Each structure stands twice: as structure tokens, then as C-alpha cells.
Structure 1
Amino acid sequence: MRIFRLLILLCVITSCAAQPEKINGLSFVAAPDAIDESHTKPVVNVGANYTAIMPFGFIRNLEHPEIAHNTDRQWYGETRAGAKQYIEELRKKQIKIMVKPQIWVWRGEFTGYIKMTNEADWKTLEESYSKFILEYADLAQETKAEILCIGTELENFVKERPDYWNSLIKKIKTIYKGQLTYAANWDEFKRTPFWSELDYIGVDAYFPVSDQQTPTVEECKAGWQKHKTVIKSLSDTHNKPVLFTEYGYRSMDYTGKEPWESDHTIKSLNFEGQTNATQALFEEFWNEEWFAGGFIWKWFHNYDRSGGEKDNQFTPQNKPVEMVLQTFYKTN
């Protein structure tokens, strides 16, 4: 009987040891300034163990092939030097890092629609994107970042130039030796062709889960079921964990209907909907073995001046949903 109990205990210990720590992440917004302990302490207080550091490149329009990046016209946090400084400060608090370079198209047009009109421009875009992403692959290696995200919501680019992306991934691997992912949009990830070459299936998880003005936790959980089945099946197919490279909800009415909606003309304010939708997401995913964790969108460096009772944007800072985030992050 004693041996039997010891075997059971050993199985439990082995099972626990086999479960990797969840990625309890924040999408740490690039700012004009350097950061210090006053900016990193709130990251620790909310229970995060990861941050996504997001340097930016800029494109003039959806058909423009050249990406401007790491220039003196950008905010400090959007540059290589700024990203490195952020990483170094967060490391002092034992925060792990995902380097997540992103593209901004002028006037905020959706990056998934980037598409060149001729072969010459496609070649120019490929060369420009390679310079951009390899710059930050080098930074990720230099700073020993745990994860590098090789792109964010670039469906047309990926669809039209699959050979380029396969070649790019090989080049990245000669520079950066950590784990790789790609941030596919919620309606894109099923078609992303190179998951087998990466370590995580990355999804920006803005899935519609409820049409209600103030969705309940139960309604949101029910709304997740059809999406969750597809997500898990892809994880099973590729034998890769799923990482929510972005997730989150605005504190507004109908927050679960089109969670990607960033229209600043929307004025409604609804903290209950944001809180319920976020809790439902945690309850549905955070205990799943095939789910690696995620990065909430988004977290600003100046904590005391972010979010709050009049803010209907995505950030959880100084809102009721922050307590939900803290509870799940500190217990998972």
C-alpha cells in the first residue's frame, strides 16, 4: 500500500512538473520616455510574469513597400534603443520578454490588408520587412528574450508570399535562438501556413462571443465554444501550444460583439461587460494544458494616469477588470 501511495505521489509530482508556467502577459505600450522602477512595479503588482515589448515600423499606406523603423522621429519606446531599455528595466523585476515588432499603417489602416500591386514592390517590401524583423531578432538574441513574434496580423502578405516567409523564418533562426511565434488575427490563424516551423500558434484573440449590451460570464463562455473547438483542433494538428499574443475587451457596451473595435468615437462606458468577458476568457482557457497563456491588450507605462473610471478603451488599468486580471495571474 505504501509503495502504491508513493507511485501516485510520484505521478502527481511528475504531472505538475510537466505543466509549464502560464504566460501571464501584458502588452507594454511603447512611450516617448525611458522607464524606471515606478513603471515596472505595477507590472509586478498585477501578477504578470511576461511583457510584450513592441517596437514599431511605419508604412505610408497599404500599397507602400518601404517600412521606416528605428529612426529619430519615433517615440523612444518604439526604437531599438528604447525597446532594449524597457527590457533591461523589466528584467530587474524578473519579468520575461516577448519582443513583438509591429507595423503601423498611416491613419491606422488594418495591416492585414497590406498588398503590393506589382512584383517589384513585393520584392521591396520583402527586403524592407526583413531588415525590420531581423533588427529585432538581433535585439531579442542580445537581450535573451524568451519569445520573438515574427509578425502581427499580416494575412495578405503571408498569403501572397509564402516562400518569402519560409525563407525569413530560416534567416531568423540563424540569428535568434529562442522561441518563435506569429500573431495571427482571430479570423486568420486557421489559414496561417507555417505553424509547424514555430513554437507557438499565436492568435490575437478578438473573437466575437456575445451580442449583448452587457454580456454575462456564462454568455461569453457559451460564445467561446465554437471558437475554442477550432483553436484546440489546430493545436492538436500541429502539436503546438496556443498563445494569445493579444487578448482583451474594451470597457464599453457590446464589448463581446466585435472585440477588435477600436473606434474612438464610441462613447459608451461599461465596466461590467469588460469584467465579465475577461473572466470568461480566463475560465475557458487558463486551465487548459494546450494553452500557453497570453498578453492582455494593453498596458501603459504611466500607471497612475492610465485607464480609470472615464476610460472606455482596452486597458485594464485602474478599472474593476484589473482585479480579475490580478486574481488569475497570481493564482495561475
Structure 2
Amino acid sequence: MIFRFLCFASLCFMLSCSATVERPEKINGVSYVASRDSIDQQHIDPVVHLGANYAAIMPFGFVKELEHPEITFNSDRQWFGETEKGVKQYVEILHRNQIKVMLKPQIWVWRGEFTGFIKMAHEADWKLLENSYSDFILAYARVAQEVNVEIFCIGTELENFIDERPSYWKQLIVEVKKIFKGKLTYAANWNEYERTPFWDDLDYIGIDAYFPIDSKQSPTLEDTKKGWQKHKSEMKNYSVKHSKPILFTEFGYRSIDFAGRAPWTVDRVDKQVNLEAQAILTQALFEEFWHQDWFAGGFVWKWFHKHDAAGGKDDNRFTPQNKPAEEVIRTFYKKYDL
């Protein structure tokens, strides 16, 4: 009798525990593109409907060329959403809708040249760049603290700058921490993160996840998932090594043929629109990562404020808006909500 009672009590305990198991918690984010003007509730409702619980807000600083050491930012010539005033307005309305924020200041090189190639020719120019970049990042660290954003990203795809000046970056993180008290990350390019030297000083290992995973014109879900295995194993081991979760500071695919072959490609090309490829690649990424306990979540690239006018069946760019990939994202975001 005692044995049967203990068995029954044990069964009840297990059933009680299973009934109260919480859903996995992930950062389900969008990379919210700055606009010319302020935004209002109609521009946030589609983000809420997507099931997103985070948005990356991206003010920009501009440099004239890869060897130019000075950064221009928060100027009257910039779009509203790229400035300090715009950041504050965006964050206020997002927070009002219970959407958390990663503030992610970024550099734009004239003509869209890759920021990872920024490199000075002389020591004096390196010093100028360091001073200018500190002004840029610390200004937005103060904004981040003022409006209580949850995550601050100290840079995006600046591999040459980091390779050449690692001690500067270590000190920059010290200065940022004096100002901002939330979580910190850096957005490393997909082939950069393993040599980034300061992950132990941050809260997340941030990766812009444009890994080449499938070379077919129209990939299958099975082949795409296989293409992730090597990268996934390496990221898991790296996460364990540093005792830090992996965060995809950007992820996404174009709705275009061969979208998984070189996902970082941003050129305006006339390749065939392929909505199915984008949806399959997006689904594979979610199925491979969103249930992993070492994986924090990510921010889909990219989301425009005028939802009804964005994306669509004839668009071969990155946004998933008004495409099958949007429904894929919605399904997983609502399954793995914070």
C-alpha cells in the first residue's frame, strides 16, 4: 500500500511539473529600418502581429571612404530615424508596446563599401578614427542608458578595425560600461566571430549569420539543414568555451534564386524572385537554432516601417514582409516568446 501511494504521489508530481513547463524563451527580433520621419502606432502594429518581442534600432554614422578616419553622425542632414532624437522616439513607442530594444549604432561607408575593410594607413589616422568612433559609440551609449534599452551593440562588422586595434576595443568596452548598465554585444560578421578578442567582456556573442549553407537555385529543407551542421557545431563549441550565448544580431535571406549560396550579397541584381527559397532557408534556420539552450535568438534583416508597401511577391530583397517567409517567422516567434 505504501509503495503504491509513493508511486501515485511521484506520478502526480511529474504530471504537475509537465503541466507547468514554460515555453522556451528567445529574443525574437526585427532589424527596424530608420525612416525619414517619426513613427506611430500603425507602424508598430505589424511588428506586434509578427510576434516580435525585440527590435534593433540602428542610428548611422557616415565615413567618406575606407581610409577616412572621421565619422559624421546625428546631423541635420540625416533621416530622423538615424539620429538621437529619432532613436528616442522609436524606443518610446516600442517600449509602450512591450517590445524591447537593442540599440545598434552602425557605420555606413560612402557607396556602400564593406565596413570590415575600414583600415587606416597611418598611426595618426588610427588615433583620429579611435577618437571619432568613441565619440559616436559613447554618445549612443548615453542615449541607450537614458531610454533604458535592454541591449547595446558596440559595433557591426568592423573586423579590420578590431584586428589592428584590439587594445582600443578593450578600453572602449570599459568606457561603455561606465555609462550603460544593460547587456552588451558586438555584431561580428559570420566569418569574423572566432577571432574577435573581447567576448568575455560582453554578454552575448553576436553574429551576423550570413553563413553559406546551400548552393542550389531552390534549396530543400533537408539539404539546407544539413548545410548548417558544421557551422552549428562550431558555434555551440564556441559558446561553451566562452560561457556566453550566441545571438544572431542579424539573420535573413533574400527572396531570390541561390539565396543560400552567398547570403551576404546586397547588390541590386535582376535574378529571379524566389519566395519559396527564402521561406525554406528561414524555416531551416529556426528549426536548427531556436530550440538550442546555448542560443539566445536573433534579429531578422530587415523590417520597414510602412509594412503594406514593403516586400511583396515581386521583391527579391531581404525583407520577409508580405512574403511566405513572414508567416514562417510569425509561427516560430509565437512559439518561442519571451
Same fold (TM over 0.5): yes
Tell me the residue number matched to 2:135. Answer: 131
**Mapped contact 2:24–2:291 kept (Cα < 8 A):** no
Match of 1:327 among 306, 327, 331: 331
| CA shift digits 1:7-46 (9 cap, x unpaired) | 54686689x56x8620000000011010000100000011
Residues 79-94 of structure 1 mapped to structure 2, 5 A cutoff: 79-94=83-98
Q: Does residue 280 of the first structure (1) align with residue 277 of the second (2)?
A: no
2:112 counterpart residue number: 108
Deviation at 1:143, TM superposition (A): 1.0
* Cα-Cα RMSD: 1.4
Measured in 2, the distance between the counterparts of 1:11 and 1:62 equals 57
Residue in structure 2 matched with residue 255 of structure 1 by the alignment: 259
**Deviation for aligned residue 1:246:** 0.1
Matching residue of 1:168: 172
Quote how far apart the aligned CAs of 1:293 are.
Answer: 0.3
Correspondence list, 1:181-200, <5 A: 181-200=185-204
Q: Which residue of 1 aligns with 2:27?
A: 23
Using the alignment, how far apart are the partners of 1:225 and 1:21 within structure 2? 23
1:1-332 to 2 correspondence within 5 Å?
Answer: 1-5=7-11, 8=14, 16=21, 21-332=25-336
Q: Which runs of 4+ in 1 moved over 2 A?
A: 1-14
Q: Partners in 2 of 1:259 and 1:104 — Cα distance? A: 19
1:68-94 superposed Cα distances (whole Å, 9 cap, x missing partner): 000001000000100110111111110
When residues 7 and 237 of structure 1 are mapped into structure 2, their CA distance, relative to the original with a 3 A threshold, is: farther
Residue deviations 1:135-181 (CA, integer Å, cap 9, x gap): 11111111111100000000000110011000000000000000000
Structure 1 gaps, min length 5? none
Letter of the structure 2 residue corresponding to residue 212 of structure 1: K
- How many residues align structurally? 330
Aligned partner of residue 294 in structure 1, secondary structure: strand
Report the CA distance shift for 1:52/1:234 in structure 2 as closer, same or farther (over 3 A): same
Q: Distance in 1 between matches of 2:132 and 2:17?
A: 51
Letter of the aligned partner of 2:36 in structure 1? P
* Aligned-residue offset at 1:268: 1.7
Q: Match for 2:37: what amino acid?
A: D
Q: Secondary structure at the match of 1:260?
A: coil
Q: Distance in 1 between matches of 2:302 and 2:182?
A: 24
One-letter identity of the residue aligned with 1:4: S
Between the aligned partners of 1:141 and 1:212, the Cα distance in structure 2 is 45
Could you tell me which amino acid in structure 1 is paired with residue 78 of structure 2? Q
Match of 1:57, SS? Answer: strand
Q: CA deviation at 1:267?
A: 3.1
CA–CA distance in 2 between the matches of 1:231 and 1:84? 34
Unaligned runs of 5+ in 2: 1-6
- Cα distance in structure 2, aligned partners of 1:13 and 1:115: 56
Shift of 1:309: 1.2
SS at match of 1:311: coil
In the superposition, the TM-score normalised over structure 1's length comes to 0.97
